[in-house]
Amino acid sequence: MTLPHTGRALADAAPVPYWLDRPTRPDPLPPLTGPATADLLVIGGGYAGLWTALLAKEADPDRDVLLVDAGTCGWAASGRNGGFCAASLTHGLANGVERFPDEIGELERLGRENLDAIGATIDRHGIDCDFERTGELAVAVAPYQLDGLAADAELGRRHGRDVRLLDRDEVRAEVASPTYLGGLWDTDRTALLDPAKLAWGLRRAALDLGVRIHEHTRVTGLTADGPALRATTAGGADAAPGTVRAARVALATNAFPPLLRRLRAWTVPVYDYALMTEPLTAAQRDAVGWRNRQGLADTGNQFHYYRLTADNRILFGGYDAVYHYGNRVAPALEQREATFHTLAAHFLTTFPQLDGLRFSHRWGGVIDTCTRFCAFFGTAHQGRLAYAAGYTGLGVGATRFGARVTLDLLAGADTPLTRLDLVRRKPLPFPPEPIRAAGINLTRWSLARADARDGRRNLWLRTLDRFGLGFDS
């Protein structure tokens, strides 16, 4: 339903990701034409590919590293996300405890080390991406969610997290919303950042170290070539096709049609949407408080995530998570009117004092959801190719860890990372179509219903829970 006030608020919103719509966006690098060779070919120039290239070069400056992207580095999920850079490698502590009970302590430690290392890399390479380690505040907006927050607080404390459980008045003193009934502030395990500026900064750092990057270069096929692999590429409109012969290949193509057949069973592309407001005036800032600038998320199954930007806009995203039959991915799916109006209406319910504020941008992007909600890893072509996929909407931080695992796998090394269950075990696959779409849509419907029924999960969700299967964004 299009309400008059959401229509007004959205009337001037540009249908492009705010983060990418800025004059500082770098010019594209030329496509690959003709034959090339490399020690390591990285396919995909989002965070996963950029971290892989950068870490490979930092470890061995003589290694010849070539990265190609079908578009430009950071144009996809990495340049259009919420910018919540979480320490968690397991899509949250509760999911990690459930799936990896024996090593969750180690995964928590590695996640924290990973977030610290991201901060250190940003400093070392002078990447200006508005990195603010403000933590994340989870808010209850329905009475039944309060029990969940208390349980999460207890779990967090047991795992050494600095968590603060806030009652109704305390949480509203942090951020003024009449919808908040309580909150849980995990103070230092999430940083907020400017996603596109991080991707562009990693790209520049990689180039500075000597990584060769070709943009508008899509890999169309991979074949064995003696002890190496050969990738064929298609360039932009008038670029000739190319080939790259590489001893090792890192596959970092996220939710896009995978070059490796087996990945089709393990991930589904799911669209997630966001709005950006105009910058708040000083009076509007005063009306919401939010002096500690935490990243915010409510705690229903269909949740919103929201945050301030460096210039005090509010990004407001989430809620709908949309799957299209047959794993469809297409630019047209990045715009969804109904979702934008839902988000705008929910924004005004959350912050009625900001009525009149307009949205400057609206966009969507695709995430690679897997049934365990956190990345999985593997090799193919006798260990000459390695991949990490399935970050399920929490890849801003975890992709750096995934890049480390990818490089260890490509080295054929037995390391503390390659020995992890997280790395060795795969998620349960999704069924083929048409059962895939039917199952995902039934799950979405059931999750929405649970939110409307005080969190009570129906038989379908309880069955999925029993088998450790799920659908999330």
Ligand X SMILES: Cc1cc2nc3c(=O)[nH]c(=O)nc-3n(C[C@H](O)[C@H](O)[C@H](O)COP(=O)(O)OP(=O)(O)OC[C@H]3O[C@@H](n4cnc5c(N)ncnc54)[C@H](O)[C@@H]3O)c2cc1C
Which residues here bind ligand X, judged by CB under 6 A?
A: 43-49, 68-71, 75-78, 80-84, 86, 218-219, 252-254, 256, 259, 272, 274, 317, 365-367, 391, 393-397, 399
Q: At what angle do helices 47-59 and 398-410 cross, to 10 degrees?
A: 50
Please report which helix (H) or strand (E) contains residue 198, including its range. helix 195-209
- For residue 22, count other CB atoms closer than 10 A to its CB: 12
Q: Which two tokens stand for residue 27?
A: 């010019």
Please give the structure tokens belonging to residue 200: 């562009």
Nearer to ligand X, 43 or 440 (CB): 43
Residue 463 beta carbon to ligand X: minimum distance, rounded to whole angstroms = 28
| Cis, bond preceding 434 (omega within 30 deg of 0) | yes
Nearest to 424 by CA among 383, 378, 385: 378
Q: Least CB distance from residue 169 to ligand X, whole Å?
A: 28
| Cα 154 from Cα 390, distance rounded (Å) | 28
Q: How far is the CB of 453 from ligand X (least distance, A)?
A: 27
Q: Which is nearer to ligand X, 141 or 366 (CB)?
A: 366
- Least Å from the CB of residue 435 to ligand X: 25
Nearer to ligand X, 165 or 410 (CB): 410
User: Tokens standing for 153?
Assistant: 């607080």
At 152, give phi and psi (nearest 5°): -65, -35
Q: What is the DSSP string of 271-296?
A: EEEEEEEPPPPHHHHHHHB-TT--EE
Q: How far is the CB of 272 from ligand X (least distance, A)?
A: 4
Q: What is the CA angle 75-77-81, rounded to 5? A: 110
Q: Strand 190-192 relative to strand 84-86: parallel, antiparallel, unpaired?
A: antiparallel
* Closest separation in Å from C-beta 71 to ligand X: 4
Exposed/middle/buried for residue 331 (C-beta within 10 Å: 0-12, 13-18, 19+): exposed
The smaller minimum CB distance to ligand X, of residues 254 and 299, is found at 254
In angstroms, give the least distance from the CB of 297 to ligand X.
9
Output 114 or 284, the one with its CB closest to ligand X: 114
At 127, list the tokens: 């990447």
Q: 136-140 and 295-298: which strand pairing? A: parallel
Nearer to ligand X, 76 or 206 (CB): 76
Nearer to ligand X, 73 or 447 (CB): 73
Q: Report in angstroms how near the CB of residue 79 gets to ligand X at its nearest.
A: 7
Beta bridge partners of 111: none
Token pair in block for residue 213: 């990057």
User: Per residue in 443-459, is it b (16+ CB within 10 Å) or e — as a string?
Assistant: bbebbeebbeeebebee
Nearer to ligand X, 145 or 217 (CB): 217
We find the least distance from the C-beta atom of residue 314 to ligand X, in angstroms, to be 14
CB-wise, 47 or 100, nearer to ligand X?
A: 47
